[in-house]
């Protein structure tokens, strides 16, 4: 990103640096990088780029004025009066600026009833213009380029931004439409045979002609996921009546479990790394099933605490009892009170299964006892168990946590640890305790679909969060989506399945589309208001992300990308060109974008999009607002030239 960013009056961050330094001198403590960014945005918007504050160095002037005073000589009384007055002025000015900062920062990182659009129109700034540039094609070996999770690339992403367009595989064609895609996909779209060759006896998938077919098998359910889910429903009645709505599947394979749960009204994030299994998540998304690249390793998963109603591991090979149970602690963090953790595979049912696990019965018995001890220490209770499936319930009783002390094997996390922090946050060997002030337990939530429109209790934790604002947000998005459908008839049809809302607040866009044959990945900015818990409380799914970085998915995995004021909020941090190139990477050929933005950015965005082989049309908003426009684009299907 360029070192200096133009401000509204034509000045740059470099020109504003003296003001930043002056504010730092006046403040009681130094500002973090994020606060500098907030203040810089405030300065540019309000035309303060060229203002220079009175700096504490003025005191040096008084010292210099009396540098010849003899030792022991008393300064003039008037002199002391001036110094005191200046000191009082500086203190008052400091508190004044601090008040502005505290109230204004939310205009950039807190989104309430409506997206904040900077007042470019009010101050008479012409729309941003950029030169047209034709982006070239990346080499063919980048057809599945996943920069953050590429096992061949182990360097910081800033060093590997690609200013080129990721090509599709040879023979690529638009995906099969939902719901047929749940059971089949084009072989050339995901041309990988490892799973077909290595897991053929488990019926994950099979290749026939020019297609892959997904019969619904898995390591622990080789005879079909349907029977497996039916047994789970017998063990967990809440899967049948709308009590359970959101789930996470760790080590998901090709996401057959998550796909089957869609038929039961349960929305699952299927999670898997990019490893030797070749494109598990890519297969899932090609089928139209929610999935994301990820792994429980050294960092927290990018989700808030107390979010999922159910977590599942079907022989996912995560060493739950190793490292003092640190991976199980992460499951505890993201699972809401009253939620269920389901485990099938080692060491469950070890008495019958141990011979096929390349281990001994003694080892499996030891692992099983360790697992029970760990779960009990985390306030889980065995809820049900039958055959290969064991179900554990996260306690809703806070008295269990009150028994945990500093001397316990798993201590409570201290107050310095934000339980909802999930962006580059290291795993910690401590237990995240649910807040007794918020009723986040599964027993407090309405059943689906009523919970979608019920104001979540967690909204009270947000700046300006209140039931009235929540209802207004729902009303606003219903009107916007109605307008979007008039502009883009494909929205709501079987032409669009995988959708991403790139910067949501409460998930209003996804909620307004709930009756369409789609699912939405709701993205909450890691730099913004932490509202992702509200998205989950509504029965929707999403993740944290910073759009200065690439998203954890394969290329060509979404049919529609929607954003609302993203460049207005983030252009001071993230270079617009690279955000658009990342959008191109994850957007399917023939897929669409709906870009709702300040009029200041729209023409520049259209120019860059044209260089990426997108066809765009500019439209008015539903209320014909002068300060923002809607840019609807479609990515063309093209095939790589010989390289």
Q: Which strands, in side-by-side order, build the sheet including 184-186?
A: 184-186, 211-213, 206-208
Residue 630 has pLDDT above 70, yes or no: yes
pLDDT of residue 393: 98
What does the pLDDT average to over 417-433? Answer: 93
pLDDT of residue 194: 79
Q: What does the CA dihedral 540, 544, 549, 551 come to, rounded to 10 degrees?
A: -30
Secondary structure of residue 12 in the 3-state scheme: coil
Nearest to 112 by CA among 464, 433, 436: 464
What does the pLDDT average to over 163-182? Answer: 96
472 vs 409, higher pLDDT:
472
Residue 38 has pLDDT above 80, yes or no: no
pLDDT of residue 81: 67
Residues 6+ apart with CB under 8 A from 97: 23, 26, 27
pLDDT tens digit sequence for 303-329: 999 999 999 999 888 999 999 999 999
% of the chain with per-residue pLDDT over 70: 77
Contact 564, 152 (CB under 8 A): no
Nearest to 262 by CA among 246, 251, 273: 246
Residue recorded with tokens 């609302």: 564
Nearest to 524 by CA among 542, 499, 548: 542
pLDDT of residue 199: 72
Q: Where do the H-state alpha helices sit in 110-181?
A: none
pLDDT tens digit sequence for 452-477: 999 999 999 999 999 999 999 999 99
What does the pLDDT average to over 252-272? Answer: 94
List phi, psi (to 5°) of 154. Answer: -120, 50
Residue 6 has pLDDT above 80, yes or no: no
pLDDT tens digit sequence for 559-608: 999 999 999 999 999 999 999 999 999 999 999 999 999 999 999 999 99
Q: What is the 3-state secondary structure (H, E, C) of 267-327?
A: EEEEEECCCCCCCHHHHHHHHCCCEEECCCCCECCCCCCCCEEEEEEECCCCCCCCHHHHH
Q: What is the mean pLDDT of the chain?
A: 82
Q: Which of 207-221, 270-284, 427-441, 538-552 has the lowest mean pLDDT?
A: 270-284
Residue 117 has pLDDT above 50, yes or no: no
Query: With bands split at pLDDT 50, 70 and 90, how would you rate the model's confidence at 76?
Result: low
pLDDT of residue 121: 46
Query: With bands split at pLDDT 50, 70 and 90, how would you rate the model's confidence at 161?
Result: low
The beta-strand segments (E) located in 315-446 are: 335-344, 380-386, 389-394
């Amino acid at each position: 990103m360029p070192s200096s960013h133009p401000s509204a009056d034509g000045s740059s961050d470099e020109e504003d640096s003296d003001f930043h330094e002056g504010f730092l001198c006046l403040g009681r403590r130094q500002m973090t990088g994020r606060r500098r960014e907030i203040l810089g945005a405030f300065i540019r918007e309000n035309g303060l780029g060229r203002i220079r504050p009175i700096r504490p160095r003025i005191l040096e002037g008084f010292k210099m004025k009396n540098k010849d005073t003899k030792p022991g000589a008393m300064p003039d009384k008037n002199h002391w009066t001036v110094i005191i007055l200046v000191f009082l002025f500086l203190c008052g000015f400091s508190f004044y600026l601090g008040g502005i900062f505290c109230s204004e920062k939310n205009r950039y990182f807190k989104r309430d009833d409506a997206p904040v659009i900077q007042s470019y129109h009010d101050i008479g700034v012409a729309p941003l213009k950029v030169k047209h540039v034709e982006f070239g094609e990346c080499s063919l070996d980048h057809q599945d380029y996943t920069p953050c999770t590429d096992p061949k690339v182990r360097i910081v992403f800033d060093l590997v931004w690609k200013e080129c367009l990721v090509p599709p595989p040879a023979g690529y064609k638009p995906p099969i439409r939902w719901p047929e895609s749940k059971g089949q996909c084009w072989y050339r779209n995901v041309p990988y045979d490892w799973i077909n060759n290595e897991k053929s006896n488990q019926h994950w998938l099979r290749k026939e002609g020019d297609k892959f077919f997904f019969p619904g098998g898995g390591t622990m359910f080789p005879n079909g996921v349907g029977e497996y889910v039916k047994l789970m429903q017998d063990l967990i009645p809440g899967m049948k009546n709308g009590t359970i709505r959101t789930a996470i599947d760790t080590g998901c394979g090709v996401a057959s479990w998550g796909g089957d749960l869609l038929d039961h009204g349960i929305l699952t994030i299927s999670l898997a790394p990019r490893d030797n299994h070749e494109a598990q998540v890519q297969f899932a998304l090609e089928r139209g099933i929610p999935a994301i690249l990820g792994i429980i390793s050294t960092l927290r998963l990018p989700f808030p605490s107390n979010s999922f109603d159910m977590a599942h591991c079907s022989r996912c090979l995560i060493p739950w009892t190793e490292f003092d149970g640190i991976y199980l602690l992460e499951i505890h963090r993201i699972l809401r009170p009253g939620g269920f953790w389901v485990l099938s595979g080692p060491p469950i049912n070890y008495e019958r299964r141990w011979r096929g696990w390349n281990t001994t019965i003694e080892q499996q018995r030891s692992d099983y006892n360790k697992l029970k001890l760990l779960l009990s220490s985390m306030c889980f209770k065995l809820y049900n168990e039958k055959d290969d499936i064991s179900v554990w319930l996260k306690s809703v009783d806070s008295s269990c946590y009150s028994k945990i002390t500093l001397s316990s094997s798993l201590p409570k996390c201290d107050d310095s640890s934000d339980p909802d922090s999930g962006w580059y946050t290291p795993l910690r060997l401590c237990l995240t305790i649910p807040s007794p002030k918020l009723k986040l337990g599964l027993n407090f939530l309405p059943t689906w679909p009523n919970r979608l429109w019920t104001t979540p209790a967690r909204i009270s934790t947000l700046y300006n969060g209140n039931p009235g604002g929540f209802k207004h947000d729902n009303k606003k998005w219903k009107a916007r989506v109605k307008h979007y459908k008039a502009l883009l008839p494909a929205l709501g049809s079987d032409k669009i399945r995988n959708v991403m809302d790139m910067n949501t607040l409460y998930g209003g866009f996804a909620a307004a589309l709930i009756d369409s044959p789609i699912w939405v990945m709701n993205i909450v900015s890691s730099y913004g208001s932490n509202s992702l818990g509200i998205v989950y409380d509504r029965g929707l799914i999403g993740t944290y992300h910073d759009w200065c970085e690439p998203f954890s998915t394969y290329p060509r995995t979404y049919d529609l990308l929607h954003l609302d004021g993203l460049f207005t909020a983030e252009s001071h941090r993230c270079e617009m060109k690279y955000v658009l190139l990342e959008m191109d990477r994850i957007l399917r050929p023939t897929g669409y974008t709906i870009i709702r933005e300040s009029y200041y950015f729209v023409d520049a965005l259209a120019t860059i999009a044209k260089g990426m082989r997108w066809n765009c049309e500019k439209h008015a908003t539903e209320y014909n607002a002068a300060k923002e426009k809607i840019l609807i684009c479609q990515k063309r299907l093209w095939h790589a030239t010989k390289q």
